[in-house]
Amino acid sequence: MRRTAAAVVVAACALRSVPACAQPLAPPRAAGAVITDTLWSQALAARKTLVVYLPPSYHTTPARRYPVAYYLHGATGDETNWTQRGHLAEVMDSLIAGGMPEMIVAMPDGDAYSYYTTYNLLLDAAGCRRLMLPPGGNADRDCVAWPHYDDYIAYDVVRHMDAKYRTQAARAHRGIAGLSMGGYGAVALALQYPGTFAAAASHSGVLWPLDLAPGAAGGRQLPRNATDSAAFARYRAANARRYAPVFGTDSAGWYARDPATIAARLVARGTGLPALYADCGTEDLFLPQNRAFRDAMRALGVPLEYHEWPGAHTWEYWHTHLGDSLRWLAARITGP
């Protein structure tokens, strides 16, 4: 039997104290629809799948248009993660029943290790199979001819949604969010395309990728305690071969994809930045990265809503705080 999002949150609240538990989700009065869609991506030269949540009134009010929140999955994940593991549809239904404005949520397939950016190195099929597939990965699914994942999300997916669904097709009504790799992607894409997205939210994001760069490439190791340092060193060693094709082997490639660096350039040019949100668990491997990004935004004078709550790099944490990012985005992209 499927549990409702409200029941899951109540169970989580019984285990730990988190701010989200002070505002329990309302029982849903009406359910939205979850559909699986496909699109051709010119940026990837591939057909991709996305999951779309349509709010309860979508099919009963045919003249109404809706804002869109784009939710990105993490490394080794896929477009079904937010609905199957994060129970996004149930959470959305409950939030809407509690008074949150309705919006569409689009969840695209970002492949295993795309980081939602254009790769620094164009891999052939053999190179992709060797470097970019997780154990048991599917090359037909996760290897594309042209790895321009930033253009794929910001152009192909956005245009597909605006063409096929009744969206409010304007920057003011678009937000983007994600977890881990997707948290990085959400913030980096919103900063890279400030004319496309009005707001970006990250859960446990890899927000300071320079922490993973080779030392010769200008990598910056962030402070950690002994236990965390050992765990992070193991993570870094296990994933180093995948980062080079994406971020590059020299400092130029890494800094070009660093969210804090992109934000600093926007500030220097006087370009308006999207609204930014980030949270991270206090037992998360990427907590030092999130703190470093928070401190960099403070130094730049860039507003960032930032939270640390109990939890690790797990779906228990992401599901518990999914409602926080949905509410935050809705407050910024809904309305006239």
User: For position 35, which CATH number holds?
Assistant: 3.40.50.1820
The amino acid at 237:
A
**Nearest CA to 120 among 159, 148, 91?**
148
The rounded distance, in Å, linking the Cα atoms of 248 and 119 is 8
Q: Please tell me the total number of residues recorded for the chain in this structure.
A: 336
Neighbours of 334 (CB within 10 A): 18
Spell out a b/e string for 283-303, using b for 16 or more CB atoms within 10 Å of the CB, else e. ebbbbbbbbbbbebbeebebe
**Nearest CA to 333 among 278, 293, 277, 294?**
277
Residues of the chain with pLDDT under 70: 1-29, 216-220
The maximal CA–CA distance of the chain, rounded, in angstroms, is: 58
pLDDT score recorded for residue 27 = 59
The per-residue pLDDT for range 88-134, each reduced to its tens digit, is 999 999 999 999 999 999 999 999 999 999 999 888 878 888 888 88
Are 111 and 54 in contact by the 8 Å Cβ rule? The answer is no
Tokens found for residue 92: 């959305």
Sheet holding 174-179, edge to edge: 33-41, 46-54, 104-108, 68-72, 174-179, 199-203, 275-281, 305-309
**pTM of the shown model:** 0.90
**Residue 326 contacts by C-beta under 8 Å, 6 or more apart in sequence?**
69, 91, 92, 95, 100, 105
N-terminal to C-terminal alpha carbon distance within the chain = 39
**Nearest CA to 302 among 259, 264, 258, 261?**
264
pLDDT score recorded for residue 241 = 87
Q: Which domain holds residue 136?
A: 5-333
The per-residue pLDDT for range 178-206, each reduced to its tens digit, is 999 999 999 999 999 999 999 999 999 99
pLDDT score recorded for residue 137 = 82
> Domains in the chain: how many in total?
1
Are 121 and 245 in contact by the 8 Å Cβ rule? The answer is yes
Q: With the C-alpha atoms ordered 116, 118, 120, 123, is the resulting torsion angle positive or negative?
A: positive
The rounded distance, in Å, linking the Cα atoms of 281 and 205 is 10
Place of tokens 């992709």: 128
